[in-house]
């Protein structure tokens, strides 16, 4: 019988693994211009968003056609075309401002947005600039439609075109329209629900002004206070084309109460609210 004796070999000396130092490169911050571009695309690339934007042009053309068809020859002035075009825009632009914010909650895209860009303040800043850009561009589109309507209406009626809106007046109209849009943006921040913000806006524009006007007509003390606390009332001179220094003060004071303070509250809440 053969016996095999196994001699244990010396354990191999294990050498520590080489530690490879890897330096993680800091990722560059996403440029604000790219975030603004994304927010602008989000306003247009859905079916509802596209038709909401298209409605700005469609209502401008319909209002212009209505003036040409139904207005007397002496009323075919640029001022009347601008007033007709501005009426639907005062409703549509605030809706765009509202949906620019509330879409993150109503469409449940906020979790994705705030994960890709964790700094919510930058996203809200981009939304604010995107909404302002849309408002300003929309007003210049309305200007072009109004100019074409004035020329076409004057040619059809055989009268000279009347340009009775100055550049300063147009700038005030743009300011008033953009402020209206940003008021909708503020409501979106505070309420964060599309239906609730839209209903609140219509209550503010259709229900509150008559009540405040009735109160001012019956209470002398409130008639003196109304310009300082009624934001809608203080904005009217913007569309009339002339503002005195006191009217600018009325706009600033009422804007602090109805716009800036709620905007600050909305920004505070949105930056800390849980996104689901």
pLDDT, residue 8, reads 53
Concatenating the DSSP letter of every residue in 170-221 gives: HHHHHHHHHHHHHHHHHHHHHH--HHHHHHHHHIIIIIHHHHHHHHHHH-HH
Number of structural domains found in the chain: 1
Is 246 a domain residue?
A: yes
Residue 262's closest CA among 174, 193, 177, 185? Answer: 185
Report the DSSP beta bridge partners of residue 77: 162
pLDDT, residue 7, reads 53
Question: Which domain, by its residues, includes 172?
Answer: 32-270
Is 86 a domain residue?
A: yes
- Separation of alpha carbons 203 and 94, rounded Å: 13
- Separation of alpha carbons 33 and 25, rounded Å: 23
Is 71 a domain residue?
A: yes
The model carries a pTM of 0.83
Is 145 a domain residue?
A: yes
pLDDT, residue 82, reads 87
Is 6 a domain residue?
A: no
Per-residue pLDDT in tens (0 to 9) along the chain, 276 residues: 455 555 555 555 545 444 445 666 666 778 888 888 988 888 887 777 788 888 888 998 999 999 888 888 888 888 888 888 888 888 889 998 998 888 877 766 767 777 778 788 888 899 999 999 998 999 899 889 989 999 998 888 888 888 888 888 889 999 999 999 999 999 999 998 888 999 999 999 999 999 999 999 888 888 889 999 999 999 999 988 788 999 999 999 999 999 999 999 999 988 877 766
Is 10 a domain residue?
A: no
Is 12 a domain residue?
A: no
Is 1 a domain residue?
A: no
């Amino acid at each position: 019988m053969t016996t095999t004796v196994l001699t244990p070999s010396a354990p191999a000396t294990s050498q520590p693994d080489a530690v490879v130092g890897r330096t993680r490169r800091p990722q560059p911050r996403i440029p604000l211009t790219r975030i603004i571009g994304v927010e602008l695309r989000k306003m247009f690339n859905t079916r509802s968003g596209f038709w909401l934007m298209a409605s700005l042009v469609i209502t401008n053309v319909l209002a212009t056609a209505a003036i040409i068809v139904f207005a007397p020859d002496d009323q075919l002035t640029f001022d009347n075309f601008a007033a007709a075009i501005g009426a639907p825009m005062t409703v549509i632009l605030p809706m765009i401002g509202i949906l620019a914010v509330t879409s993150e909650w109503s469409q449940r895209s906020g979790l994705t947005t705030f994960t890709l860009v964790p700094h919510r303040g930058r996203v809200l800043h981009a939304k604010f600039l995107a909404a302002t850009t849309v408002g300003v561009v929309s007003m210049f589109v309305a200007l072009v439609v109004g100019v074409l309507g004035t020329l076409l209406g004057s040619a059809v009626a055989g009268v000279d075109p009347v340009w009775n809106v100055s550049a300063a007046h147009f700038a005030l109209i743009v300011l008033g329209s953009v402020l209206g849009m940003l008021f909708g943006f503020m409501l979106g921040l505070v309420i964060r629900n599309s239906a609730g913000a839209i209903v609140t806006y219509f209550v503010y524009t259709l229900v509150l002004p008559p009540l405040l006007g009735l109160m001012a007509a019956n209470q002398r003390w409130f008639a003196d206070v109304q310009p300082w606390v009624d934001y809608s009332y203080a904005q009217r001179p913007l569309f009339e084309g002339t503002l005195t220094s006191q009217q600018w003060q009325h706009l600033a004071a009422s804007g602090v109460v109805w716009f800036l303070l709620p905007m600050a509250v909305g920004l505070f809440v949105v930056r800390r609210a849980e996104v689901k």
